[in-house]
Amino acid sequence: MAALDWFAPAAVAEPTPAPRRSARERPAPPRTRRRRRHVHRRVRAPIVWMTLFALLLAGVVAVNVAVLRAHVAVSRLEEQAAHLEAQDQALASQLSAASSAPRVEAAARRLGLVQAQAADTSYLDLVPRRP
Predicted confidence (pLDDT) per residue in 39-83, tens digit = 555 678 889 999 999 999 999 999 999 999 999 999 999 999 999
Choice between 125 and 19, residue whose per-residue pLDDT is larger: 125
Looking from the CA of 102 toward its CB, the CA atoms found within 13 Å total 1
Q: Report pTM.
A: 0.42
Secondary structure of 76-87 in HEC code, one letter for each residue: HHHHHHHHHHHH
According to the model, what pLDDT value does residue 22 have? 64
Query: Does the pLDDT value for residue 38 go beyond 70?
Result: no
Alpha-carbon dihedral sign for residues 111, 113, 114, 116: negative
pLDDT at residue number 19:
66
